C-alpha cells in the first residue's frame, strides 16, 4: 500500500502526517514514546475502504511548533485542525496511551469533528503518571526507557520474538530534554473523569488483558461513563496493542469505523 506524506498549517504549528489507503478517514494518534512511525506497519492493516492518517504531535517527528508550553486540550485542537485541513467535517479518531488522552479530549472539547472514537490502553486523567511501571519509566532518562519499554509493551512471548523486538525498538524515539518535559507537563492538568458522560460519539475501548499500567478495569470505568461505549480486552496483550497485537487491534478499529460511516466534504 502506497504511503503519501504531507503537512498542514494550524496557526504557529506545522503538522506533518503520513497516510495510506482511501475511504473512511481514520486519524491515528501515537503514544508518548513514539511519533507517527508507530503506525507505519499498522496503517496498511486497516485494509480497503479506510484512509489511515497518522500525524506527528507537537515535539514529535517532523511537525514544527514553538518551544512554549501546551496542554492536552491544545493537542486536541491540533487534531481537529488537521481533520478540517484535510477537507473533512468529521473523522474516526484512534489513540493509544498518550494518544488516547488526546483522543478522549477531542471527543470532549471538539466533538463536532468526531465520527467515531476508539481508544486503547489509556487513562481518563493524569493518574497515568503515578501508575505502577509507567511512573518508573517516566523517571528514567530517554535512553534508559527503551529496555523498560520492552517488558512494559510486549508479552513474555513477544519479548522472545526478535522481529517484534526490532520493530518496537525502531518506533521508540528520544526527544530533547526540553521537548520531553513539555510533553510530560501537558499531562499534569489532564482530568476528564467528570466529563466522559458528555461524549456522544460511538465509542470503542481496546485494552490489553495483561497491561501493567492501563489495566482493563480502567477501560471498563471509562466505558461505563460514556453512553453506549463498548470495551474489548485482548487476551495476553500488555501495553503495546498496536505492535504485538496490531492485527487484532486494527481489525477491531476497522470494523468499528466501517460500522459508523462518515460523509467527507470532498
Grid cell locating 161 = 520474538
pLDDT at 137: 61
Q: Is residue 266 part of a domain?
A: no
- Looking at residue 128, its pLDDT comes to 72
* Inter-residue contact 191 to 71 (CB < 8 Å): no
265 in a domain, yes or no?
no
Residue 220 belongs to some domain of the structure: yes
Q: Which residue has the cell 520493530?
A: 167
Q: Residue 220's closest CA among 234, 232, 210?
A: 232
Paired with 25 in beta bridges are 51
Q: How far is CA 193 from the centre of its chain?
A: 18
Per-residue pLDDT of the chain (266 residues; tens, 9 = 90+): 689 999 999 999 999 999 999 999 999 999 998 999 999 999 999 999 999 999 999 999 999 999 999 999 999 999 999 999 999 999 999 999 999 999 999 999 999 999 999 999 999 999 877 765 565 666 666 667 777 888 889 999 999 999 999 999 999 998 898 998 999 999 998 999 999 999 999 999 999 999 999 999 999 999 999 999 999 999 999 999 999 999 999 999 999 999 999 854 44
Of 135, 109, 121, 132, give the one whose Cα is nearest residue 192: 109
**72, part of any domain:** yes
pLDDT of residue 265: 42
Give the three cell numbers for residue 64: 514544527
Q: Which domain CATH number covers 147? A: 3.40.50.1820
Q: Which domain holds residue 21?
A: 3-259
Task: Give the count of domains, the chain.
Answer: 1
Contacts of 92 (CB under 8 A, 6+ apart): 24, 25, 26, 27, 114, 115, 116, 117, 118, 253, 256, 257, 260, 262
Q: What's the pLDDT score for residue 61? A: 97
Give the pLDDT confidence of 42-64 residue by residue, as tens digits.
999 999 999 999 999 999 999 99
Angle at the Cα of 172 (from 171 to 174), degrees rounded to 5? 130
Residue 130 domain flag: yes
User: Residues 153-172: pLDDT tens digits?
Assistant: 999 999 999 999 999 999 99
H-helix or E-strand spanning residue 230 = strand 230-234
Amino acid at each position: 500500500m502506497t504511503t503519501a506524506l504531507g503537512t498542514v498549517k494550524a496557526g504557529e504549528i506545522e503538522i506533518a502526517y503520513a497516510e495510506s489507503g482511501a475511504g473512511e478517514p481514520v486519524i491515528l494518534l501515537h503514544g508518548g514514546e513514539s511519533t507517527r512511525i508507530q503506525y507505519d506497519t499498522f496503517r496498511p492493516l486497516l485494509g480497503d475502504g479506510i484512509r489511515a492518517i497518522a500525524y506527528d504531535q507537537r515535539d514529535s517527528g517532523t511537525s514544527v511548533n514553538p518551544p512554549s508550553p501546551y496542554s492536552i486540550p491544545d493537542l486536541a485542537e491540533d487534531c481537529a485542525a488537521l481533520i478540517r485541513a484535510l477537507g473533512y467535517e468529521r473523522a474516526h479518531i484512534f489513540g493509544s496511551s498518550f494518544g488516547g488522552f488526546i483522543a478522549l479530549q477531542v471527543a470532549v472539547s471538539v466533538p463536532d469533528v468526531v465520527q467515531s472514537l476508539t481508544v486503547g490502553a489509556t487513562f481518563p486523567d493524569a493518574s497515568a503518571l503515578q501508575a505502577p511501571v509507567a511512573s518508573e519509566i517516566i523517571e528514567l532518562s530517554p535512553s534508559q526507557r527503551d529496555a523498560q519499554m520492552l517488558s512494559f509493551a510486549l508479552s513474555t512471548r513477544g519479548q522472545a520474538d526478535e522481529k517484534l523486538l526490532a520493530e518496537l525498538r525502531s518506533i521508540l524515539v528520544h526527544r530533547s530534554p526540553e521537548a520531553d518535559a513539555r510533553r510530560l507537563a501537558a499531562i499534569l492538568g489532564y482530568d476528564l473523569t467528570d466529563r466522559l458522560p458528555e461524549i456522544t460519539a460511538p465509542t470503542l475501548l481496546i485494552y490489553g488483558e495483561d497491561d501493567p499500567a492501563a489495566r482493563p478495569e480502567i477501560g471498563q470505568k471509562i466505558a461505563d461513563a460514556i453512553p453506549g461505549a463498548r470495551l474489548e480486552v485482548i487476551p495476553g496483550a500488555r501495553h503495546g496493542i498496536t505492535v504485538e497485537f496490531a492485527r487484532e487491534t486494527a481489525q477491531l478499529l476497522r470494523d468499528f469505523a466501517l460500522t459508523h460511516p462518515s460523509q467527507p466534504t470532498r
